[in-house]
Amino acid sequence: MNKKVKMILDKDFKIGEVDERIYGSFIEHLGRAVYGGIYEPDHPEADEMGFRKDVIELVKELKVPIVRYPGGNFVSGYNWEDGIGPRELRPKRLELAWRSIETNEIGINEFVEWAKRVNTEVMMAINLGTRGIDAARNIVEYCNMPEGTYWSDLRKSHGYREPHKIKVWNLGNEMDGPWQIGQKTADEYGRLAKEAAKVMKAVDPSIELAVCGSSNSSMPTFGQWEATVLEHTYDYVDYISVHTYYGNEENDIGNFLAKSLDMDEIIKTVIATADYVKGKKRSKKTINISFDEWNVWYHSREADKKIVPWSVAPPLLEDIYTFEDALLVGCMLITLLKHADRVKIACLAQLVNVIAPIMTEKRGKAWRQTIYYPYRHASLYGRGYVLNAVIDTPTYNSKDFCDVPILEATAVMDENNNKLTIFAVNRDQQDSLLLESEIKGFEDYKIVEHIVLENEDLKATNTKENPLNVVPHNNGNAVIEDGILKAILPKLSWNVIRLAKRN
């Protein structure tokens, strides 16, 4: 028997407008993300710069608006100058964060060229681990100054006449982490980030800056780190970074799918902390969130321990994603959308091979992992205003969470194109849900499509041999009857219900 859930949507009740950068991603010089992922010059489908055209097409299909680069832990030991100029003169370096050899075949200029090919913008991270203020101002000058200075003219001599105009910059990465090269206290980092921000905005006042928050919410300084860092940097930055990853090590599906509630709490805590500093400073400016690392990550941890160090592009962090992972990714996307008023940038970490929706084989195929699909659906159909959905749903308790909603859902209205999209995950392990939704202000709308991602095997994966094992179908049964939207949401399923105005 189907359980019943109710939802009320009202055209006039909005949470906020979706910043398209909420569908961003991440490419780090880590494992096979760059070398063998986006770049493989001896691949049959490599273009004139060595970029894989099959990967480019899969990325373009996602409509990724911004990609964070080049790290991650990598950036805290990175000399950006190593990746510019003639390739034959670039040094090979010991890359200490991931214990690999970095060849520097790909650097800023090449990555900007790749970004153009996939129709995305670059979010550039700077090194505040081993480097500091001087390198920070120089890299902005190299990337964004038109001409007439040492670094801008050097860029031109490298064949890039026009400035790259990189808009968004990360002030380092996870600087609270003991694993981080150049780990700092909140005061040490806050002071350095402030001074770096000052010179970067002096070079280019149009840029936006994201300051590091805690590496994750289990850090003992979580909350206090954000407060201290923002007290130093509040007047100079635009966003504070948030990172989180989840796993299902205990093979407890109910608890695993509830972990997006933890993500929700993290967001609320960081917003509250940022607003506390705003009040303390009597500022009129609001600091928003750049959730620039999020995903499921746990499958590859044991395999990574066996990797022999100091090779080029070893197969690190190559999680093979399951159907249940796609469900949690869907819940996490819904959570980000529910905070569209304050989460303005988010980066699914990462994009290719490394904990990624896209996998590649050396000199072979590229394919979509299970998590590709909810990410793609949200990016394609989740543009516009998030509505404040009122939901009446049964709940359950799990090992770490109480009152977990069986229905996780939100809705996005695209006023410009007269479209409405409902995103919904049914967390119930036994039963389908009968969704009944009032859609106030959408009386002249019709169902366009009801997409469903479901599978009887929670551990089902997509592989190079069977790349279409877990794929969505559009045979959902959503209808509108007497102004009420009704749909059956299968047990443990991701659903996308698309509506459009009747002609």
Residue numbers annotated as active site: 174, 293
Spatial distance between the Cα atoms of 346 and 183, rounded to a whole number of angstroms: 24
E strand or H helix that includes residue 153: helix 150-157
Distance CA 443, CA 176 (A): 51
Angle 28-33-35 (CA atoms, 0-180°, nearest 5)?
Answer: 110
| C-beta separation of 353 from 373 below 8 A | no
Residue with tokens 């990189």: 166
Q: How many CB atoms lie within 10 A of CB 4?
A: 12
CB 499 within 8 A of CB 439: yes
Q: Are strands 24-26 and 404-405 parallel, antiparallel or unpaired?
A: unpaired
DSSP code, position 131: -
Task: Tell me which long-range contacts 300-305 makes (C-beta under 8 A, separation of at least 24).
Answer: 300/355
403/477 Cα distance (integer angstroms):
28
Report the run of H or E that residue 193 belongs to, with start and end. helix 186-203
Cα dist from 133 to 78, 126, 181, 183, 189, whole Å: 14, 10, 17, 16, 12
Sheet with strand 3-10: strands edge to edge? 390-392, 3-10, 433-440, 484-489, 479-481
d(CA 2, CA 488): 8
Task: Please work out, in degrees rounded to the nearest 5, the angle formed at the alpha carbon of residue 369 by the alpha carbons of 364 and 374.
Answer: 145
C-beta neighbour count of 26 within 10 angstroms: 30
Q: Identity (one letter) of the amino acid at 220? A: P
**Whole-angstrom Cα distance, residue 300 to residue 307?**
11
Closest C-alpha to 245, from 98, 26, 61: 26
Residue 189 to residues 78, 202, 391, Cα–Cα distance (Å): 17, 20, 42
413 CB contacts (<8 Å, ≥6 apart)?
Answer: 11, 14, 384, 385, 387, 419, 420
Compute, in degrees rounded to 10, the torsion defined by CA atoms 78, 97, 194, 339.
Answer: 120
Closest CA to 26 of 372, 355, 368: 355
Q: Among 488, 483, 456, which Cα is nearest to 470's?
A: 456
Give the Cα separation of 438 and 440 in Å (integer): 6
**Radius of gyration of the chain measured on its C-alpha atoms:** 23
